[in-house]
Chains A and B, each alone.
Chain A
Amino acid sequence: MKNQLNRLLALALVALLAGCSSTGDTEGADVEDRGTDAEGVVTSGAADTGSFPGASLDDPNSSLSRRVIYFEYDSIEIVSEDQDLIAAHADHLANNPNQMVSLEGHGDERGSREYNIGLGDRRAQSVRRVFELQGVSPQQISIVSYGEEKPTAEGHSEAAWRLNRRVEIVYMGY
């Protein structure tokens, strides 16, 4: 439990730092320039909007490279440490209204399977709500819950379970 919090805190710090750096340095400027181009050139707009978010999404130093939100047991609440990360994704999506995203909800293996589908759905809905509050269009977001059917970690311990209680932010086309 404590380890998990520490880990989340550390990740949140990384995310924060990454988020701060991307607003000031050349990478952020680069993104803005290309965005302006895309708005001006209608015929090549599709191709440009396709490549435009790629620059930051593919950057391992960007907070946007972290696309998994973890949850407590039987909980659908976003822990405070993850709020900045979700906000960074929301910003990105709000600024790229053609970018579609799928929120994939998951749970750990314990308990009944359809209830876990319900939990995964509610978790994805939690992330969706934050996205929409921060200006992401509902049309950009789709949700699928896999419950316990697609674990990332096998095994029957909290070490595996905490990795499986998650929402994956999946950018369409990546």
Chain B
Amino acid sequence: MKSIKGILILALLLVARPGMAALTIEITRGVEGAIPIAVVPFGWSGAGAAAPENMAAIIASDLSRSGRFEPLPDRDLVSHPTEASQVQFHNWRMLNVDDLVIGQIRETGPQQYTVEFQLFDVFRTKRLIGYSFPAHQSELRRVAHHISDLIYEQLTGGQGAFNTRIAYITTTGSGTKKSYTLLVADSDGFNPQTILRSGQPLMSPAWSSDGSEVAYVTFEEKTAEIYIQNVATGARHKVASFPGINGAPAWSPDGTRIALTLSRDGNPEIYLMTLANKSLQRLTNNPAIDTEPVWSPDGTSIVFTSDRGGSAQLYRVAVRGGAAKRLTFDGKYNAGADFSPDGKKLAMVHARNGAYRIAVLDLDSGLLRVLTDGKLDESPSFSPNGSMIIYATDAGNRGVLAAVSVDGRFRQRLSLQAGNVREPVWSPFDRQ
């Protein structure tokens, strides 16, 4: 793929607004077999020289980021049709693009717009889909992501995950002046919003199953505590503040419970807390470290990290209790698991020859596949459609976020302009 060779900087955020920490997305590894597609700049009718958002650019970078598409560079666009009657299919066939996206954005009132788009199959000279959306100015980026989802679904058959968000932690400064921030951003890194800032460590953000709340660990009282915070309102409440560790919160798929790690009984163990009444059920009982619980998507079992066998490995235990079964045998360190949305795979931190990388275990076959090539990769989190894994990596002594396709063929880096970025977690589909 000639245009994805090497490092292609998409420089998504053209103008960094004050208070917005800009993420730049670099594609570090391209993929053979990406679908060539042309996304033509949308037509504009309204006051002012241009539409408030460049819809085509947002859509093109979404599609590119998925690793499944190769959008035609702007300079190669032979014409700029904005409606079906203007499309000359033979021109696009000559450019070897399979599909074509055109659209328009019309101002219908103060900060109100109508967005239309159409997707064409160039070789069959046929319109595949077309939609029109009314939108407030603040919703235009989300409409663009929604259009990306529709195109992705039409052309790949899978569900798109562009209209989702990520939560992550950043640190700036050093020593006693270190500042820890918990942020929520769109899945393309735009629109980052600080939901908590602290002079003490923040850790382990976890989305509720409906995407409305985030649980996290804070050391603001010089001891570990778990809070749950409403993402939209910022209102929060403390759910765990026992002596010792209060860590690794993970929401049950039905949203009624969290799994968490407590050391109140002497060493780190996994507990389940029913959120309605804060009652606790202890799930593990072992003198080793038991931590990092994650729920299977069907809600019946918990996978966790334990060093009960002498080194950190992943184990599975039924939510109703019973014996834990070891899942990983490859290498001396497998920790920090995340379940794929279909429950068939586990992503984890896997150490080999002193390098910590992201690997995926296929639970049916037992095969482990290393997907990344960093030295300090950690915190893998599946996209809600299961196609990508976002994780934290080190780039020149700075923590940055990166994403890799589940087959390992496509990788990209999301680098914040300042500070260290880490612990990314991808939201579920539903969002408020």
Could you tell me if B201 and A119 are in contact, using CB atoms closer than 8 angstroms? no
Tell me, yes or no, whether B291 is within 8 Å of chain A by CB.
Answer: yes
Q: Which of A118, A119, A154, A156 has the most CB of B within 10 A?
A: A118
Selecting from A44-52, A55-63, A92-100, A109-117, the interface stretch reads: A109-117
Does chain A have a CB within 8 A of B43? Answer: no
Q: Report whether A114 and B219 are in contact in the complex, using a CB–CB cutoff of 8 Å.
A: no
B386 within 8 A of A: no
Beta-carbon contact of A110 and B356 below 8 Å = yes
Minimum CB–CB distance from B214 to chain A (whole Å) comes to 16
Q: Which residues of B contact A125 (CB under 8 A)?
A: 263, 266-267
Q: How far is the CB of A74 from chain B (nearest CB, A)?
A: 7
- Per the bound structure, the CA–CA distance linking A154 and B175 in Å amounts to 10
- Residues of A with C-beta under 8 A to B174: 154
The listed residue (B219, B267, B311, B378) touching A112 by CB distance below 8 A is: B378
| Complex contact B423–A117 (CB within 8 A) | no
> Which chain B residue has the least Cβ–Cβ distance from A118?
B289
A117 touches B247 (CB 8 A): yes
B333 (CB) vs chain A CBs: closest residue: A111
Given contacts A142-B243, A146-B219, A150-B201, contact A114 B375 (CB under 8 A): no
Number of interface residues of B (CB under 8 A): 40
Interface contact A145-B224, CB-CB below 8 Å: yes
Q: Is the CB of B349 within 8 A of A112?
A: yes
B181 to chain A, nearest CB (A): 14
A111 to B358, CA, bound (A): 10
Pick from B267, B292, B307, B423: contact of A121, CB below 8 A.
Answer: B267
Our pick among B289, B311, B351, B379 for the contact of A113 (Cβ within 8 Å) is B379
The complex places the Cα of A29 from the Cα of B157 at a distance, in Å, of: 82
Q: Which of B204, B247, B266, B312 contacts A111 (CB 8 A)?
A: B312
Q: Would B245 and A111 count as touching, CB distance under 8 A?
A: no
Select one of B222, B243, B247 contacting A114, CB under 8 A.
B247
Q: Give Cα A112–Cα B222 distance, bound, in whole angstroms.
A: 21
| Pairwise interchain contact A156-B289, C-beta atoms closer than 8 A | no
| Chain A residues whose C-beta falls within 8 Å of the C-beta of B333 in the assembled complex | 74, 111
- Residues on A with C-beta less than 8 A from B394 are 156
Q: Is B189 an interface residue (CB 8 A)?
A: no
Chain B residues, Cβ within 8 Å of A149: 201, 203, 219
Are B289's CB and A115's CB within 8 A? yes
Residue pair A117, B219 in contact (C-beta under 8 Å): no
B291 touches A118 (CB 8 A): yes
Q: How far is the CA of A119 from the CA of B333 in the complex (A)?
A: 14
Residues of B255-293 whose CB lies within 8 A of A:
261, 263, 266-268, 289-292
Among A112, A117, A155, A156, point to the contact of B224 (Cβ < 8 A).
A117
B35 interfacial by beta-carbon distance below 8 Å: no
B336 in contact with A113 (CB, 8 Å): yes
Interface check A11, CB cutoff 8 A = no
User: Quick one: CB contact mask for B211-223 with A, threshold 8 Å, 1 for yes?
Assistant: 0000000010011
Within 8 A of A (CB), among B200-249: 201, 203-204, 219, 222-224, 243-245, 247-248
Q: A115-B312, A125-B266 are in contact. Are A146 and B201 (CB under 8 A)?
A: yes
Expressed in whole angstroms, the minimum distance between the Cβ of A51 and any Cβ of chain B is: 24
B291 and A117 form a contact (CB under 8 A): yes
A156 touches B243 (CB 8 A): no
Task: Assess A114 versus B248: contact at CB under 8 Å? Given A149-B219, A150-B201, A156-B394.
Answer: yes
Residue-by-residue, is A112-148 near B (CB-CB < 8 Å gives 1, otherwise 0)?
1111011101100100000000000000001111110
Chain B residues, Cβ within 8 Å of A119: 289
Q: How far is the CA of A156 from the CA of B312 in the complex (A)?
A: 21
Write the chain A residue with the least CB distance to B263: A121
Residues of B within 8 A of A154 (CB): 174
- Please tell me which one of the listed residues A110, A147, A150 contacts residue B376 in the complex, with CB atoms under 8 A apart: A110
Closest-CB distance, A35 to chain B (whole angstroms):
30
Q: List which B290-347 residues lie within 8 A (CB) of chain A.
A: 290-292, 305, 307, 311-312, 333, 335-336
Nearest chain A CB to B386's CB is how many angstroms away? 21
B397 sits at the interface (CB 8 A): yes
12 chain-A/chain-B pairs, Cβ below 8 angstroms: A111-B336, A112-B292, A112-B349, A113-B378, A117-B203, A118-B305, A121-B244, A143-B263, A144-B223, A145-B244, A146-B219, A156-B397
Given contacts A112-B305, A117-B203, A156-B394, 16 further A-B contacts (CB under 8 A): A74-B312, A111-B356, A112-B378, A113-B336, A113-B423, A114-B204, A114-B247, A114-B292, A114-B305, A115-B292, A117-B247, A118-B263, A121-B268, A143-B244, A146-B219, A154-B174
A residues apposed to B, CB below 8 Å? 74, 109-115, 117-119, 121-122, 125, 142-147, 149-150, 154-156
